[in-house]
Amino acid sequence: MIETIAKLWQRIPKVVLFGGAVLIQCVLLALMVADRMQILREGREVTLQTQPVDPRDLLRGDYVVLRYDISQLASGALAGKPAPERKPIVFVKLAPNANGLYEAVSVSSEPVAVTAPEILIRGRVNYSCGSGSPVFCDKLTINYGLESYFVPEGEGRKLEQARNQQKLRVVAAVLPSGRAAIKRLLLDGEPVYEEPLY
C-alpha cells in the first residue's frame, strides 16, 4: 500500500505539487484575514483606558506597546485554585463606568453569563504561581491580544507620549466568545487610527 502511494506521488508533476502548496498557503492566509474581519465586523465595541508602560519598552520597531487598567487584576475567587496550565485562559467580565470606559467586574476560569451592557473578554494569564502544579496567584497579569498596535513609521512617539499621559484610549471589538481585536485608537476622545476590516 505504501509503495502504491509512493508510486502515485512520483507521477504527480512537480508543477502541480508546487501549485498545491501555494494554494494551501493562500487559503490559510485568507482564513486568518477572514477571522480578523469577523471580530472587527461582528464584535461589540468596548473602550479601554491605557496605562503608562515602563519607558524601557516604549517603542520596538513601528508599534506601540499598550497596557490597560484591566491588564492586572485581583484574582478574586480564583486565588490559590489549581490552574489547568502554566498560562491559563481566563474570562474577565467588563462593565462600563460613568465615563463609558469598560472596567473589570470579575475574573473566572470559565465563561460566565453576562447581561447588557456587560461583556466577557478572553485573556491569557502571563504566569501561574506554584512550581509543581500551577495555581492562580492573588494578582493576575493578563494579556488579551491587544497589547501592541502597529503605526506608520515615525508616529509612535506621539502615541507613546499620549499613552503615558493617559490621553490614549483603545476601542476594541469583542465577540461573544471573548476574542478581541483593536478596532481604533482614540487620542483625547478623537479617532486617530481606524483598523480596516480587511
Look at residue 56 and tell me whether its pLDDT is greater than 70.
no
Cell numbers at residue 130, please?
506554584
Q: Max CA-CA distance within the chain?
A: 70
Contact 114, 156 (CB under 8 A): no
pLDDT classification of 179: cutoffs 50, 70, 90: very high
Radius of gyration of the chain (CA): 21
User: SS3 sequence, 103-165?
Assistant: EEEEEECCCCCCCCCCEEEEEEECCCECCCCCECCCEEEEECCCCEEECCCCCHHHHHHHHHC
pLDDT per residue over 17-53, tens digit each? 788 888 899 889 888 888 878 888 888 888 888 776 6
The pTM for the full model equals: 0.77
pLDDT at 198: 63
Question: CA-CA distance, 118 to 93, in Å (whole number)?
Answer: 7
pLDDT at 53: 63
